Structure 1
Amino acid sequence: MADYEERQSLLGDDNDGVSAAPGPDRRMSSISNPSHFLHRLVVLVFMCLLGFGSYFCYDNPAALQTEVIQDLHLNTSKFMQLYAWYSWPNVVLCFFGGFLLDRVFGIRLGTIIFSLFVCFGQVIFATGALVNRFWLMEVGRFIFGIGGESLAVAQNTYAVNWFKGKELNLVFGLQLSMARLGSTVNMNIMGWVYTKVTDLVGSPGHTALGVSLMIASVTCLFSLMCALVLGFLDKRAEKILQKEGRGAGEVIKLTDVKDFPFHLWLIFIICVCYYVAIFPFIGLGQVFFIEKFNFSPAEARLVNSIVYIISAPASPLLGFMVDRTGRNVLWVMVAVVSTLAAHMMLAFTFWNPWIAMSLLGISYSLLACALWPMVAFVVPEHQLGTAYGFMQSIQNLGLALVAMAAGSILDNRGYLVLEVFFCVCICFSLMAVVTLYFVDYLRGGDLNLSGAARAKLHKEATTDAE
C-alpha cells in the first residue's frame, strides 16, 4: 500500500494534484505541492539543467581540436587521451557511483558530491592548459570523469524516482535535449571564446587555451547550484509526502550484478557498441570535415555539432512518441540501422555531410529515448542506481578503449579505415538488438509492448498494490 501511495503521489496520476493520504495539505498551492504536475515540472527543469555544465565541458577538446593540437604540440593519439582519461575512472567508479547513490550517500548528497568533482576537474584541466602541463590536463579530465558519468547516473535515478511510468521516455528525452544543448553551445561558442581571449592576450597559445577553458568552468558551477536546489526540493517532497527513501527496506548488494537478467546484459551491449561509434567520431570530426570535404574550421565545427543541434529539440518529441507508441525495441532497431546508414554515407560517399550528420542526430536521439528507459522495465526500483551505474561503467570502458584505438587508427590508417571500424561497432549493436527482440518475445517480456498495453499493465500493477 505504501508503495502504491508513493507512486501515485510522485507520478501525479490525478491532474488536480490531490493524492490519497498520507500526502500534502490540500490547501497547499499547486506550485508548492510535490504531488502536483506544476511542482514536478519545476523539479524537471532543475533535473535537466543538472547535467548542462558536464556536457558543455565534456566536448571542450572536440570544439577546440585544432587549437589544442597546435598550442600543445600534440598528435591525434595524444589528443584522444583527453577522452580516454575521462572514461577510464568510470569503468569502475561509475558503477560504484550508482551503488553509492543506492546504498551510502543517497541520491541528494551523492549528486552534490559528483557535481563538485565536475567543477574541480574542469578547473584543473583548464589550469593544466594555462601552465602548459599536459599531464595536469589529463589529471583534470580524470577527476572530471569521476564526477561526470556518476552525475549522469544520478540524473537518471532522479528521473525514474519522480517520473517512472508513462512519462519516463519523455523525461529522458528532455534530459537528453538539455544535455545536447550544452554540447551544441560548446561546439559553436568555444571557438569564438578562444578567438576573443587570443585578442586579449595578444597571441594564440596555451595561455589563451587555458583562459578559454577556465571560462567554460562557469557552466559547471551553474550545474552545482542546480544540484543543491534539486536536493532541497527532493528532501522537501520526501518530508511532505511522508514517504520512505527510495527502495526502503530493500537490501542492495554489489553482488546484485550477477542477478541482472539477460535482457539487461543485451541492453548493455547495445549501449556500448552504439555509443563508441558516436562520441569518438564527434571528438575527431572537425578535422575529418576539413580534410575530406574542404570545409573551413567554422563550417566543420558547425556540421560536427549538428548531431547535438538536432538532438536538443528532437529528443523530447521522440521521447513523447515512444511514450505513446511503446515498441521500445523496434525503435532502438530503427535507430541503429539509421546510424549504420549514416556512417556508411560518410565513409563511402562524397555526398553533402549535412545529410548523414542530420540522420545521425535523429538516430542518436531516438536510441537514447528508447534504450535508457528500458533499464527501469527489467530491474527492481531499488537496484536502478546500481544498474544505471554499471551500464555507464561498461559504456566508458568501451569509450576509453575506442578513443585510444581511434586515435591510433587515424594516425596510421586514415579516416576511411576509422569509419569502417565504426560501422563494424554498429553492426555488433544491431545483432544485439535483434537478439533482444527475440529473447523478449520468447520470454513474454514487456520491452516491446505497445504504449496502450504498457499503460494497461501499469494500471493493473498499481491496482494490485492497492
Structure 2
Amino acid sequence: MGSTDALYRPDLDDESETDIHPGCGSSLACDPSRWLHRYLMLFFICFLAFGSYFCYDNPAALQDVMVRDMDLTETEFMNLYAFYSWPNVALSFVGGFLIDRVFGIAWGAIIFSLCVLAGQVLFGAGALANSIGLMYFARFVFGIGGESLAVAQNTYTTEWFPPTELNFVFGLQLSMARVGSTVNMVTMHLLYQAVGTTFRISGYKRLGAALMIAAVTCVYSSICASILAYFTKRAKRISEKRRQRMAASQALVDGTANTTAESETPKLISFRDILHFPLAIWLICIICVTYYVAVFPFVSLGLIFFERKFYLPVTQAGVVNSLVYIVSAVASPAFGAAIDFTGRNLNWVLSGTLLTLFCHLCFAFTSGEIPPIVIMIILGLAYSILASSLWPLVAHLLPIHQRGTAYGLIQSIQNLGLGVISIFAGYLVDTKGYLLLEVFFTFCLSLSLAFTFVLYFWDQRHGDLLNASGAHRRSKPTVVVSDHSAEQEEEKVEAEPEKSTIL
C-alpha cells in the first residue's frame, strides 16, 4: 500500500521550484523536498524528547539525596519508576492510535510534550510539598507523555525521511536519548548542590527546586514540538500547491477542461487495520521484547553484579555498568549510516543479537578471562546495532498513517515485558543468584534469535522487503507491504511507489 503522507522527495533535490515558493523558499534550507531542510528538521526531531529522557532518570541521579531528604524506603523510591512504566503497557498503544487517528502527528507531539512538562513540574511540586503521593501521580502523568512522545518522535522520523536514510536517523535519535540520560546523571547532583548554595535551602525543598529547574529541558522539548508542527504544516501546504499544479498540467496535456486538483483525503487508521498488520510487525514486537529484557534489567542490576563477580570497587563498577549507554551514544549514528549504506537490516539485527548473546555467555561462564569493561563495550556496540537496524523496519512494512499505532504497539509490549521481567530478574537474584539470571538472559536472547530467523523466512517469501541491499533500495521506489489479503501477496502485484506530499 503506498503512503501519501511522506514529507520527503529525494528525486526533486536537484530541481528548481521557484514558481511554488520563490526566494528563500526554493533554497536547500527552506524547500521541504530538499535534503538540507530535512536534516534541519532532524535537529528538532532529535531534541523533541530530550526533556523526557533527561527527566526520566532524575530519581536515579538523585537517589541518595531523594531517599534521605524525603525519608523514603527503597520500595517507595522504586515505585517512582513503577508508576511510570506500568500504565504505559496500554498507554503507549493508545497514544500511538491517538496520533494516527485523532490528534495527528503535530498536535499529538505538542500535547504529549506538555504532558511531560506538566508531569515534571508536578514532580518538583511534590518534592517541595514533601508529598510522595503527589510525586507518584506526577510520574504517572509524566509517563503518559513520555512514552507517547517517543512514539510521536518515531512517527515524525518516518514522515520526514525516506527508508534509505532511516537507519542513520534512528541511530542519531538513540544517541540523543543516551546523551540526555548521561547529561542528567552528570548534572543533577551539581544542580542540587548549586540550588542549596544559591538559595540557602536544604532538605526536600532543595530537592524540589532542583527538579523544578530540570523542567526547563521539557520546555525546550515543547518548543521543538511547536517548531516541528509549524514546518510540517508548511510542508503539507506546499505539497498541496504542487499537487494542484501537476493536476492542472496533466489536464492540459489530456485536453480536458478540468484544471482543479482534488485534495487527497487524509487516511486514518481503524482498529480493524491493526488486525491486518503483517505478521512481520508481530515478529518485530517479539524480537524487541525478548532482546530488550536482556539489556535494561541487566543494567539495572549490574552495579552489584560487577562488585560481587569481578570484585570491582563501587565507583569503577558504576563506570563499567554505564558503558552500554556511553558506547551506544557514540556508536549508534555510525552504525545507522553503515546500515543505510549496506542495507540488509535483518543481517544487522542477527549480528546485534548474536553479539549480545556472546556477552551474556561470557558473564555467565567466565571469571575474568575477558575483562568486564571489554564485554560491556561489545554489549554497547551490539545494542547500537540492533536498535539502529530494528526500529526502522516498520517504515518498510506499513503506510505512514499506521506507523504511530505500530510504534505504540511495540513500545506497549516492550513495557509489559520489561515490567514483568524486571520483577522476575530481581526475584532470581534474591533467590538463585546471578548465574541463573544470566542463564535466563541467554534464554531470552535465544528466543530473539529464533524469531529473527522466522522473520528471515517471512521476508524471503515477501520479496526481501526488510533485507534488501542498500543499493537496491536506492535504485528502486520505496514500497510498503500491503496490510490486506494474502492473495495480493501471492499474486506478487507490484506495490505502488510511495508518494510524497512534497512534490
Normalising TM by the smaller chain, what interval?
Answer: 0.7 to 0.9
Counterpart selection for 2:414 from 392, 395, 401: 395
Counterpart selection for 1:24 from 10, 21, 26: 21
Q: Say whether the 8 Å CA contact 1:268–1:391 is kept in structure 2.
A: yes
Q: Compared with structure 1, are the counterparts of its residues 367 and 3 closer, same or farther at alpha carbon in structure 2 (3 Å cutoff)?
A: closer
CA distance in 2, matches of 1:188, 1:302: 12
1:283 equivalent in alignment to 2:300: yes
> Could you list the per-position Cα deviations for residues 378-434 of structure 1 after superposition, in whole angstroms to 9, with x for gaps in the alignment?
122221111111111111111222233334444444544444433332222222112
Counterpart selection for 1:323 from 328, 340, 343: 340
Q: Say whether the 8 Å CA contact 1:332–1:366 is kept in structure 2.
A: yes
Q: Say whether the 8 Å CA contact 2:119–2:138 is kept in structure 1.
A: yes
CA distance in 1, matches of 2:416, 2:264: 28
Counterpart selection for 2:168 from 167, 170, 176: 170
Letter in structure 2 aligned against 1:319: G
CA distance in 1, matches of 2:428, 2:73: 12
TM-score in terms of structure 2 length: 0.82
Q: Which runs of 5+ in 2 are unaligned?
A: 244-262, 480-494
Matches within 5 A, 1:29-68: 29-68=27-66
The match for 2:382 is: 363
Letter in structure 1 aligned against 2:84: Y
Q: Compared with structure 1, are the counterparts of its residues 99 and 18 closer, same or farther at alpha carbon in structure 2 (3 Å cutoff)?
A: farther
Letter in structure 2 aligned against 1:308: Y
The match for 1:85 is: 83
Please give the secondary structure, in 2, of the residue aligned with 1:428: helix
Letter in structure 2 aligned against 1:37: W
CA distance in 2, matches of 1:67, 1:413: 31
> Could you list the per-position Cα deviations for residues 266-301 of structure 1 after superposition, in whole angstroms to 9, with x for gaps in the alignment?
100011111222223333434444555455554444
> Could you list the per-position Cα deviations for residues 136-189 of structure 1 after superposition, in whole angstroms to 9, with x for gaps in the alignment?
322222111111111011011111111023111111111111111111212333
Q: Compared with structure 1, are the counterparts of its residues 285 and 455 closer, same or farther at alpha carbon in structure 2 (3 Å cutoff)?
A: same
The match for 1:125 is: 123
1:78: how far off? 4.7
Matches within 5 A, 1:70-109: 78-109=76-107
> Could you list the per-position Cα deviations for residues 233-275 of structure 1 after superposition, in whole angstroms to 9, with x for gaps in the alignment?
111111222279x994434102222111111111000111112
Letter in structure 1 aligned against 2:350: M
CA distance in 2, matches of 1:272, 1:367: 12
1:69: how far off? 4.8
Q: Say whether the 8 Å CA contact 1:63–1:301 is kept in structure 2.
A: no
1:197: how far off? 4.9
The match for 1:261 is: 278
TM-score in terms of structure 1 length: 0.88
1:345: how far off? 3.1
1:94: how far off? 1.1
CA distance in 1, matches of 2:379, 2:211: 28
Q: Say whether the 8 Å CA contact 1:18–1:26 is kept in structure 2.
A: no
- Across the two proteins, how many residue pairs are aligned to each other? 461
Q: Compared with structure 1, are the counterparts of its residues 276 and 72 closer, same or farther at alpha carbon in structure 2 (3 Å cutoff)?
A: farther
Matches within 5 A, 1:326-337: 326-337=343-354
CA distance in 2, matches of 1:227, 1:121: 17
Matches within 5 A, 1:348-359: 348=365, 349-350=367-368, 351-359=370-378
The match for 1:150 is: 148
The match for 2:484 is: none
Q: Say whether the 8 Å CA contact 1:76–1:408 is kept in structure 2.
A: no
Counterpart selection for 1:238 from 196, 211, 236: 236
Q: Compared with structure 1, are the counterparts of its residues 115 and 203 closer, same or farther at alpha carbon in structure 2 (3 Å cutoff)?
A: closer
Letter in structure 2 aligned against 1:449: A
Q: Compared with structure 1, are the counterparts of its residues 357 and 248 closer, same or farther at alpha carbon in structure 2 (3 Å cutoff)?
A: farther
The match for 1:272 is: 289
The match for 1:444 is: 463
Q: Compared with structure 1, are the counterparts of its residues 295 and 60 closer, same or farther at alpha carbon in structure 2 (3 Å cutoff)?
A: farther
Matches within 5 A, 1:157-306: 157-197=155-195, 206-242=204-240, 248-293=265-310, 295=312, 297-306=314-323
CA distance in 1, matches of 2:437, 2:266: 49
Letter in structure 2 aligned against 1:148: G
Q: Name the stretch that deviates more: 386-395 or 291-300.
A: 291-300
The two structures, once aligned, show a CA RMSD in angstroms of: 3.1
Please give the secondary structure, in 1, of the residue aligned with 2:240: coil
Q: Which runs of 5+ in 1 are unaligned?
A: none
- Percent identity at matched positions? 50
